[in-house]
Structure 1
Amino acid sequence: MPRAASIFFILLPFRLVTPAAAADPDLIVVGAGIAGLSAALEGARAGLRVTVIEQNSVPGGHAVISSGGLSLIGTPLQERMKIADSPEIAYRDFLKWGEDANEPWVRYYVNNSRREIYDWMEALGVEFVFASMNGAGNSVARFHVPRDQGLGLVIPLYREILRQGGVTFRMNTRVTALRMANGRVAAVETEDLRTGAKADLSGGAVLLATGGFAARLDLVLSSWPRQMRKPERVVAGGGYFAFGGGMELARQAGGVSTNLDHQWNYATGLPDPFDPEGKRGHFAQAPGAIWVNAQGKRFVREQHEPKATIPVVAAQKPAFFWAIFDAEGRKGFRVIHAGFSDDRLRELFEAPGFIHRADSIAQLAARANLPADTLEATINRYNALVESGEDTDFGRFGPHLPRPLIGGFPVPAPRKIATPPFYAAPMYILIRKSMGGILVDLESRVLNREGKPVPGLFAAGEATGFGGLNGKNGLEGTFLGPAILMGRIAARTAAAEIKPPRATPAAPTRRIRTTPPAVSPKLGGACRECHDVTRLVAENRAGYWHFTQSHKLVVSRQWNCIGCHAEMAPFRPASHKIDREVQTAVCQHCHTNPPFPGRRTESRTGE
């Protein structure tokens, strides 16, 4: 990517205005994750002028880093795969697994997911490639995986918004307060995260799609389920801006939040050694590992569902464990994060004093501060169980047990931990998704303490805990799907209330540019004359989070700027600016996994 062009990309203020969206908005959407984008498109198609306000400099939210899987019922893909599913089967699965799921939301979801999500997303260009079980609780395979994972959901949706028109995006901007007028939410107060400038924006209604609170660890722990021991430390592994801001905004207007102890977490949270605050972590999977506590003993069935493993991990003192594996197990170790490359994984393993490596179990125990005799006995016992073919200690494997699934596919058969080098990776409970949040009704209207709608205020997606649809335990795929559905419902409800005095727009005929121009990689060298990428990344400036993260890769891998910003070359002052339409073609450089065709370092350097 021309190094400089990639800098200029972020230096320019992003106030993308699609055609016919210059006037004050009818609907203000706070958050550009998949719920907010779904709401923006639904609102624009209903004839609303929509403004989307987002803290990041790019849309997509948590969906971009996810697998993109959706729990959908009775779809053509299931029919082609000869999977017999129905709303009634799904309804029973949701209620049984969730334990206290919101039954009206469950009923609406299972009855309408095919039409309102599958058909709608397919019409936008999303391609669902297979359906799998992917986790316990489902009677049949209904976890629908799109091509290009989460990016495969976000990019078609975002492009359709650009084609549709009627939508303004205000990026790098935080909503700090709601304004009331005549008993109705009628405006928002905003702050530009780069300049600090404050401004008010009026609108006919406000829709909160701000995500959950998984990144606010103090609130996570203060809301920890009472029936479970509170861990000494957890790591955040959800959206980077998921600080629960939507709940505070709703509270200002009289809205209430509920079920904050309903959280969907994972046991295998690998702390990020490069996070300066030590709060972030990665969702790791090590199918060849055993889990041992600080005393060097196995304590739970590895590869079991979070519903079963997290209470046991939390009960350990301290509440963490070491994933112990060998050279063969290292081959299967991965981080579940779309676009997390082998290079980034290698950096984790090479971080000093983080994932320990040794040529013997005794050495490994010393480096991880584990009792050597106990650890060796634990591994010898596990290896003997593998040789016998049955885990009689914890039921991980055996002749009559189904093989566990990861990503919908069976994990490899268990192997002995016997091939050096040996590894010990620290694991903490990873906070992933919020299943409690702003209280809403079936029309996604925010409710007050009396259970009545707050006029002019709507909410959707993880900000609401997905309407309580998951209860205490979510089935895989029941997060992005409800976010899409609720975003659409909220925008429809707002449109019916606002009743804009204009005709519903016709189907868009506007064409957008999604193919970067063909230019010589040699032009990328000129970018460095103006833009010191290394310095700008090191400054870690407020309002430049995405720039900093993406350009860390640019610096470490010496990528050519032309790879992402060909539309800015050759340099012409009058046209030296980012083309947000073309940019939708290059997100895959960082956000698809496994690598898309041609994704090699050579292609990025232009050599």
Structure 2
Amino acid sequence: MNTATFDVIVVGGGNAAFSSAHAASERGRKVVVLERGREDMAGGNSFYTAGATRIAHDGMASLKGLVEFDDRHEVTEVPPYSTDDYLADLIKVTDGKTDRDMADVLVSESHDAVRWLNGLGLKYRLMYERQAYAREDGTYLFWGGLHIGNVGGGEGLVADHTAVAKRLGTEVRYGIHVTGLILDRGKVVGVRATDDEGNGHEFHAESVIIASGGFESSPELRREHLGAGWENAKVRGTPYNEGDMITAALEIGAAKGGDWSTCHSVQWDAEAEQNESNRELTNRLTRQSYPLGIIVNRNGKRFLDEGADFRNYTYAKYGREILRQPGSVAWQIFDATLRPMLRTEEYDMPGIGVHTADTIEGLAHAMGVDPAALVSTVETFNAAIDRNVPFDPTVLDGRVSLTEPLKSNWASPIETGPFYAYPVTCGITFTFGGLKGDLHGRVLDETGAPIPGLFACGEALGGLFSGNYPGGSGLTAGMVFGRRAGMIA
């Protein structure tokens, strides 16, 4: 048995893990980060993200000095996004189920946490290609409250974090699978682990921070807690988030936190050759221009309001709606007018799933859907559009199609060939249920008392999200609560 001693052990190697490690290292703690993946598979779910980070701010002027220079800045409008806006969005999308105390901390410390990381060496930019529309006058308007992201996306995020850890003297060990917690008279004093060669290890420390994600990579736990059918969802991110450390904490008396019955899930390419844990395409297998078109199932029928709100407020819950459809598959449909407006990084690359045809009937045949049903759906949708309202994707334009289900915004007729159908299924990102903690990430037992020596942050800490979440707030939560845990561990 190999043994080693540190002040702080961080289990996990993603954004939350590194945020907690940096905060502890800045205090002079001797820190080790234990990453299950080898170096070429490291970074947790963070590697697979686009790096989008939701923070409160006062508009463009308050972001200068934080984001990397871009010559488009002078013709760009970034609406202010206040802490009140942020909190209102959290409450709205979770149907009021967010933990209000945690939410208050998240929104009030979001900007400062990103500034802190930027000061350490993480690089940010305005996300033009994902969160802004070019207007006819040559200016750009950002929308949906989510404006900045990491330079280089998730890959850049992890690379920057790793460089900071090295500079701060944090030791990072790869290929270490932590399997259990070590207790001494009720206090967590370390972890047990194995390496890739099967050798056993014990790491001892004053504090252990669990930052190893949720249980979304475990088909068994997905089925148990999310319900039947969830074992068939595609894993978007790391294959290693199997809930091992959450289970280990529960075994020593930790309480569950948050909503264990729901998760973050998106519309995901159903036909790409490698559509799970793809480290080359990462987030680009999402299909997130759906508010512009319509979505139909195998019966050729629409089943949700594609334009209910900005994508940032609906995309994380629509994956489960796809899962509920026949065969757990659906198609996003656009015509030639809409096609140039789709996200280039997601819809313009080789090897993705797409069907094209010059007619709706031909498109239906390519999809394997009944032509008469699809033609009826499209014609009904087109006929019910209020064409007196201008189409404007930069705002909630109220251009409705009075069909069943309603399309509340951005209803544009599907009428000009060629037509495009993108097959989508459910891609699971992370689970919302985790461990119960206080506002500093100290893990609590069933009585509400902290378990000495044990902390949690990131996706392992439950309470913030339920049913849905505002896009970009997951990375921010990892930074805010990771920093808090590292400041006292």
> Is structure 2 residue 185 aligned with structure 1 residue 182?
yes
Partner of residue 550, structure 1 = none
Q: Aligned pair in 2 of structure 1 residues 246, 126: CA closer, same or farther (>3 Å)?
A: same
Deviations 1:522-557 (A, max 9, x none): xxxxxxxxxxxxxxxxxxxxxxxxxxxxxxxxxxxx
User: Which of 197, 200, 210 in structure 2 is aligned with 1:198?
Assistant: 200
Corresponding letter in the other structure for 2:121: G
Q: Aligned pair in 2 of structure 1 residues 457, 163: CA closer, same or farther (>3 Å)?
A: same
Distance 1:387 1:103 in 2: 39
Q: Aligned pair in 2 of structure 1 residues 142, 445: CA closer, same or farther (>3 Å)?
A: same
> Is structure 2 residue 441 aligned with structure 1 residue 460?
no
1:210-221 correspondence to structure 2 within 5 Å: 210-221=212-223
Deviations 1:182-236 (A, max 9, x none): 322222221112x2222222222211110122222332233237xxx96794322
Distance 2:381 2:347 in 1: 31
Corresponding letter in the other structure for 2:17: G
Determine if contact 1:87/1:110 at 8 Å carries over to the other structure.
yes
Partner of residue 321, structure 1 = 330
> Is structure 2 residue 304 aligned with structure 1 residue 300?
yes
1:113-512 correspondence to structure 2 within 5 Å: 113-115=110-112, 117-130=113-126, 141=145, 143-165=147-169, 167-193=170-196, 195-224=197-226, 233-258=232-257, 259-266=259-266, 268-271=267-270, 273-275=272-274, 282-287=285-290, 289-304=293-308, 305-306=314-315, 309=318, 313=322, 316-325=325-334, 345-349=349-353, 355-358=354-357, 360-384=359-383, 388=387, 391-393=401-403, 394-396=405-407, 401=409, 403=410, 414=412, 416-420=414-418, 422-465=419-462, 468-494=463-489
Determine if contact 2:219/2:232 at 8 Å carries over to the other structure.
no
Determine if contact 1:459/1:490 at 8 Å carries over to the other structure.
yes
Determine if contact 1:83/1:140 at 8 Å carries over to the other structure.
no
Corresponding letter in the other structure for 2:43: G
Q: Aligned pair in 2 of structure 1 residues 112, 254: CA closer, same or farther (>3 Å)?
A: same
Distance 2:105 2:232 in 1: 37
SS in 2 for 1:479: helix
Determine if contact 1:102/1:471 at 8 Å carries over to the other structure.
no
Comparing 84-93 with 65-74, greater Cα deviation is found at 84-93
Distance 2:305 2:275 in 1: 33
Q: Aligned pair in 2 of structure 1 residues 142, 79: CA closer, same or farther (>3 Å)?
A: farther
Deviations 1:302-325 (A, max 9, x none): 254247756754554454322234
Corresponding letter in the other structure for 1:169: V
Distance 2:352 2:116 in 1: 39
Distance 1:209 1:277 in 2: 22
- Give unpaired runs (5+ residues) of structure 2: 64-76, 133-141, 309-313, 389-399
SS in 2 for 1:300: coil
SS in 2 for 1:161: helix
Corresponding letter in the other structure for 1:463: A
Q: Aligned pair in 2 of structure 1 residues 381, 487: CA closer, same or farther (>3 Å)?
A: same
Distance 2:275 2:9 in 1: 34
Corresponding letter in the other structure for 2:485: A
SS in 2 for 1:441: coil
After TM superposition, give the deviation of residue 461 of structure 1 in Å. 0.5
Determine if contact 1:78/1:84 at 8 Å carries over to the other structure.
no
Corresponding letter in the other structure for 2:217: A
- Give unpaired runs (5+ residues) of structure 1: 1-21, 350-354, 404-412, 495-607
After TM superposition, give the deviation of residue 269 of structure 1 in Å. 2.1
Partner of residue 555, structure 1 = none
Determine if contact 1:71/1:144 at 8 Å carries over to the other structure.
yes
Determine if contact 2:131/2:144 at 8 Å carries over to the other structure.
no
Deviations 1:312-345 (A, max 9, x none): 5455445432223456666555587xxx795xx3
Give the structure-2-normalised TM-score: 0.78
Identity %: 26
After TM superposition, give the deviation of residue 34 of structure 1 in Å. 0.6
After TM superposition, give the deviation of residue 82 of structure 1 in Å. 7.1
> Is structure 2 residue 18 aligned with structure 1 residue 37?
yes
Determine if contact 2:235/2:277 at 8 Å carries over to the other structure.
no
Deviations 1:459-489 (A, max 9, x none): 1101113xx1234431122100110111111
Determine if contact 2:330/2:425 at 8 Å carries over to the other structure.
yes
After TM superposition, give the deviation of residue 257 of structure 1 in Å. 2.2
SS in 1 for 2:192: strand
Partner of residue 25, structure 1 = 6
Deviations 1:123-151 (A, max 9, x none): 1233443389969xx99735433433334
> Is structure 2 residue 52 aligned with structure 1 residue 55?
no
> Is structure 2 residue 52 aligned with structure 1 residue 69?
yes
Distance 1:70 1:30 in 2: 23
SS in 1 for 2:465: coil
After TM superposition, give the deviation of residue 162 of structure 1 in Å. 1.2
After TM superposition, give the deviation of residue 114 of structure 1 in Å. 2.5
Aligned length in residues: 438
Determine if contact 1:310/1:429 at 8 Å carries over to the other structure.
yes
Give the structure-1-normalised TM-score: 0.64
Partner of residue 597, structure 1 = none
Determine if contact 1:28/1:205 at 8 Å carries over to the other structure.
yes
After TM superposition, give the deviation of residue 83 of structure 1 in Å. 4.2
Determine if contact 2:216/2:242 at 8 Å carries over to the other structure.
yes
Deviations 1:542-597 (A, max 9, x none): xxxxxxxxxxxxxxxxxxxxxxxxxxxxxxxxxxxxxxxxxxxxxxxxxxxxxxxx
Determine if contact 1:215/1:237 at 8 Å carries over to the other structure.
no
Determine if contact 2:146/2:471 at 8 Å carries over to the other structure.
no
Distance 2:15 2:477 in 1: 10
Larger Rg computed on CA atoms: 1
SS in 2 for 1:187: strand
Distance 2:37 2:271 in 1: 21
After TM superposition, give the deviation of residue 260 of structure 1 in Å. 0.9
Q: Aligned pair in 2 of structure 1 residues 92, 391: CA closer, same or farther (>3 Å)?
A: closer
Q: Give the aligned CA root-mean-square deviation in angstroms.
A: 3.6
Corresponding letter in the other structure for 2:472: G
Distance 1:485 1:298 in 2: 39
Partner of residue 69, structure 2 = none
Corresponding letter in the other structure for 1:192: D
Determine if contact 2:114/2:479 at 8 Å carries over to the other structure.
no
